[in-house]
Amino acid sequence: MSIIQSVSSFVKNIGSGIMSYFRLTPRLAKLIGLEIFVFGTFIAICVVISEGIMRIPDSPKPGLNFLFAALKVGISLLLIGLWTGVWYYLTKRLMKNDRQKNKEKEENK
């Protein structure tokens, strides 16, 4: 086999490999959507923390300042916790909905 033939079969193999990945992607639309949603909400939370919570000015009184700092961390952690909760809930819903659809399909058969 000449070098050109080997290279062309190598490129073909890679091409068909990539195509096989693309063929599978439509099955994953919902999951990819959820991934992007999780990412997007995380970014949104970061913006809220950066532009909102972090803008709360420091207090000149040390005791009050500590309270403010603790409050900032607390609210931020609460938001991150909420984000994780929503992520968990949506994953659960997505998976349960799909199981329900499957069951209905089976029954219709």
Partner 1 sequence: MAPTIAPIIIYILSFITPFIITLLGLPLHIKLMHKRGISGVDIHKEDKPKVAERGGIVILIAIILSSVLMIILVNDPELRLSIGIFCITVTIAGLIGLVDDIFNLSALLKPFLLLFASIPIITSKRYKPEPILPFIGKTRLTIAYIVLLPFIIAVPANSVNMLDVFNGSMATTTIIVLIAVFFSNMIVFGNGFDQLDNSGLTYVFVLIMVGTLLAFWIFNRYPAKVFGGDTGSLAIGGALGAIAVMGRLEVVVIIAMIPFIMNAFGIISSVKGLLERREMTRPTKMTKDWKIESTRDRKAPITLVGLVIQKGPLHEKDVVKTFNVLAIVSAILAIVIAVLTNLSGVVS
Which residues lie near partner 1 (CB under 8 A)?
20-21, 24-25, 27-28, 30-32, 34-36, 38-39, 42-43, 46-47, 49-51, 54, 73, 76-77, 87-88, 91-92, 94-96, 98-99, 101-103, 106
Nearer to partner 1, 31 or 64 (CB): 31
- Phi, psi dihedrals of residue 58, rounded to the nearest 5°: -75, 150
The DSSP call for residue 1 is: -
- Phi, psi dihedrals of residue 56, rounded to the nearest 5°: -60, 120
Cα 62 from Cα 59, distance rounded (Å): 7
State the nearest-atom distance from the C-beta of 71 to partner 1, in Å: 13
Nearer to partner 1, 7 or 44 (CB): 44
Question: Cα 35 to chain center, whole Å?
Answer: 3
State the nearest-atom distance from the C-beta of 70 to partner 1, in Å: 10
